[in-house]
Structure 1
Amino acid sequence: MKLVRNEVPLLAPTSQTWENKGVFNPAAFVWKDDIYLMYRAQGDDEVSRLGMVKMRTPTEVAERKPEPVFCADPDSEYERIGVEDPRVTKIGDEYFVIYVAASKYPPLLSTPAHPREADWRVRVSLAKTVDFASWIRYGVIISHIDSKDATLFPEKIDDNFCLLHRVVPQIRIAIAADGRRYKERGAVFGPREGMWDGDKVGVGAPPMKCPFGWVLFYHGVDKNKVYRLGIALLDLDDPSLVIARTAEPVMEPETTWEKEGRVSNVVFTCGAVEDNDKYWVYYGGADTVIGVANIAKDEVWKWAKDELAKSRYHEFDQIGRVATEETEERMR
């Protein structure tokens, strides 16, 4: 089971100073019956801003906005290096944009234990919109710990907003009745020793509902720091339960523009949409350009159905739980 990529990038940097170094890690969503991408851009100042394009088809750009649609709040100490890696989820009539507020820890302030990210302060943050022109900014919604790679489920579960996010090295879940004050519920899944996702994992696109569970495209990193994509299947009623994960990646860096760039050997998604019986996955290549790949929904659903049917017979040996009795009723 593999994603089929377009062999050339969909979007590349321009001469505009705010996006002349890299465009990457796009959210993907449907607004007014058209596909849109909201992407991370960096320019000469290395500050991250969010740009936006309208698609004519899943693989053809119709319109690219010349200026950013979302920038750092100048009054926020958490956004001094910018806003990163958006995931967009429609709930009701509103679009929830979960993004990473990026800054550096002030001098003399204690830093996280993870040595590779010790200088950076990253916080999951929220803004809402109905038109992508005016914004309600809530800012940081998980304030006590470095966390990123976050997204909301597209519907409430047990009357709660459900948020997936990544605290190195694992994906975690949190819930909130009001959509702003989140309470941790624990780990969902983490790295698998010796595998393609053996160093750390992170959320990719917002989860997409299918008859057999929530389809979650996610990224995994190995000990050589290669970023690949896989799929996890989460239980519909309790998404903290992992039904299955792909044993092999569904995508890995292969083209020159995925292997070579500002950060080499990276394919990294923040968004996917359903169109014409396919999942279209939009992703950053080497933190420099944006690509698109697709896979037939039938292929993913067959895998999901098969994994759901056998889930009662095995358990993961890594972080993550397998739905058992809850899944049996769905298979009848």
Structure 2
Amino acid sequence: MIKLKRHPLNPLISPVPQHHWESKYVFNCAVINRDGVFHMLYRAQGEDMVSRIGYAVSLDGLRFNRFEKPVFTPGSQWELYGVEDPRLTELEGKIYMQYTAYSPQGIRISMASTLDFLRWERYGVIIPDIDNKDAALFPKKIRSHYVMFHRIEPEMYLAYSDDLDSWSKFTSIAGPRPGMWDNLKIGVGAPPVETEYGWLVLYHGVENTPRPTYRLGFMVLDLENPEKVIKRSDEPILEPEEEWEIFGGVPNVVFSDAMVEHEDNYFIYYGAADNHIAVATIEKETVLDWIRS
């Protein structure tokens, strides 16, 4: 059994009462490290409860400087209630962001790309006609196809594309496990990290309790056939324990969209009870030992 270690600086980011767009909640962030700079995109809500995406940068992955205005805001009828839960993948010279578009028509996976985190090219909804979320791109093609995680409740799926526009071959790879900590529904956390033993995948699982509890775990997928699950956490690697993880906008939640390799560690950034953003770490060698065991 392996566990993440919370950083003593937590929580890293909290609401700013003076900023109307992030005065109530900040949570569920994507983080990517480019040339020694940590770039964070995070979900925020103000009094109007519309989700917007803010931007922050850091040199050490712990102390972030935030922009005063959001860098990505609702831009279509599909996004009337907000843009939610970004995930970032660097692929073929661009940074791609998968996010959830939320509107009276439902929840849909959408995508945008950027070179500088400030200017965005929007692609709109990329999987229409079905409520869907928790999307994340693999960082390279597999067997000449782009591959993307998504979640048709309650299971975790893969989809495939030749052009990042049209997605097909929806394949369920994992689902809830009766009697365990992820017995209600699951979804991908961060985009996967390639290791010599397989794709390391961070995911969240929800337990069917009177107040559903969100926890984090790992799974490992085959490098050439990511539909094959090699290993999966029997116990959660992080669960709500701190007061600010148990009480908040949505209680009993640790929810991550970001896992970053930094030196000899993985930095895992997570939303806590939909109120704050925090980070927990684990040594890479500890994870590799778990995979090998």
TM-score, with length taken from structure 2: 0.97
- State how far apart, in whole Å, the 2-side matches of 1:122 and 1:48 are: 13
User: Which ranges of 4 or more aligned residues in structure 1 deviate by more than 6 Å?
Assistant: none
Residue equivalent to 2:157: 172
- State how far apart, in whole Å, the 2-side matches of 1:258 and 1:203 are: 20
Structure 2 residue 130 is matched with structure 1 residue 127: no
Residue equivalent to 2:215: 228
1:185, distance to aligned residue in structure 2 (A): 3.3
- State how far apart, in whole Å, the 1-side matches of 2:192 and 2:284 are: 14
- State how far apart, in whole Å, the 1-side matches of 2:36 and 2:91 are: 15
What SS does the corresponding residue of 2:59 show, helix, strand or coil? strand
- State how far apart, in whole Å, the 1-side matches of 2:278 and 2:146 are: 30
- State how far apart, in whole Å, the 2-side matches of 1:14 and 1:130 are: 27
- State how far apart, in whole Å, the 1-side matches of 2:83 and 2:239 are: 26
- State how far apart, in whole Å, the 2-side matches of 1:284 and 1:188 are: 25
Residue equivalent to 2:290: 303
- State how far apart, in whole Å, the 2-side matches of 1:29 and 1:96 are: 11
Structure 2 residue 249 is matched with structure 1 residue 247: no
Structure 2 residue 38 is matched with structure 1 residue 35: yes
Q: Report the structure, 1 or 2, having the larger strand content.
A: 2
- State how far apart, in whole Å, the 2-side matches of 1:48 and 1:185 are: 28
- State how far apart, in whole Å, the 2-side matches of 1:144 and 1:210 are: 35
Name stretches of at least 5 consecutive residues in structure 2 with no aligned partner. Answer: none
Q: Which amino acid aligns with 2:141?
A: K
1:303, distance to aligned residue in structure 2 (A): 1.3
What SS does the corresponding residue of 1:49 show, helix, strand or coil? strand
Q: Deviations over 1:140-174 (max 9, x none)?
A: 00002100011000001111110000110000000
Match of 1:261 among 245, 248, 253: 248
Residue equivalent to 2:7: 6
Residue equivalent to 2:97: 97
What SS does the corresponding residue of 1:57 show, helix, strand or coil? coil
Counterparts of 1:143-158 in structure 2, within 5 Å, are: 143-158=128-143
CA contact (8 A) 2:127 2:167 kept: yes
Q: Deviations over 1:111-155 (max 9, x none)?
A: xxxxxxxxxx11000001111122110010000210001100000
Q: Which amino acid aligns with 1:4?
A: K
What SS does the corresponding residue of 1:151 show, helix, strand or coil? strand
Match of 2:68 among 60, 66, 69: 66
Count of matched residue pairs: 288
- State how far apart, in whole Å, the 1-side matches of 2:258 and 2:152 are: 20
Q: Deviations over 1:78-132 (max 9, x none)?
A: 1110100000000021000000000123xxxxxxxxxxxxxxx110000011111
- State how far apart, in whole Å, the 2-side matches of 1:173 and 1:164 are: 5
1:184, distance to aligned residue in structure 2 (A): 2.6
- State how far apart, in whole Å, the 1-side matches of 2:207 and 2:175 are: 12
What SS does the corresponding residue of 1:298 show, helix, strand or coil? helix
Structure 2 residue 196 is matched with structure 1 residue 211: yes
Q: Which amino acid aligns with 2:80?
A: R
Q: Which amino acid aligns with 1:26?
A: C
Q: Which amino acid aligns with 1:12?
A: S
Structure 2 residue 190 is matched with structure 1 residue 188: no
Per mean C-alpha deviation after superposition, the further-off stretch among 225-234 and 181-190 is 181-190
1:32, distance to aligned residue in structure 2 (A): 3.9
CA contact (8 A) 2:110 2:124 kept: yes
> Is the radius of gyration larger for structure 1 or structure 2?
1
Residue equivalent to 1:87: 87
Q: Deviations over 1:216-268 (max 9, x none)?
A: 11000001110000001011011111001010000000000000000000000
Name stretches of at least 5 consecutive residues in structure 1 with no aligned partner. Answer: 106-120, 307-332
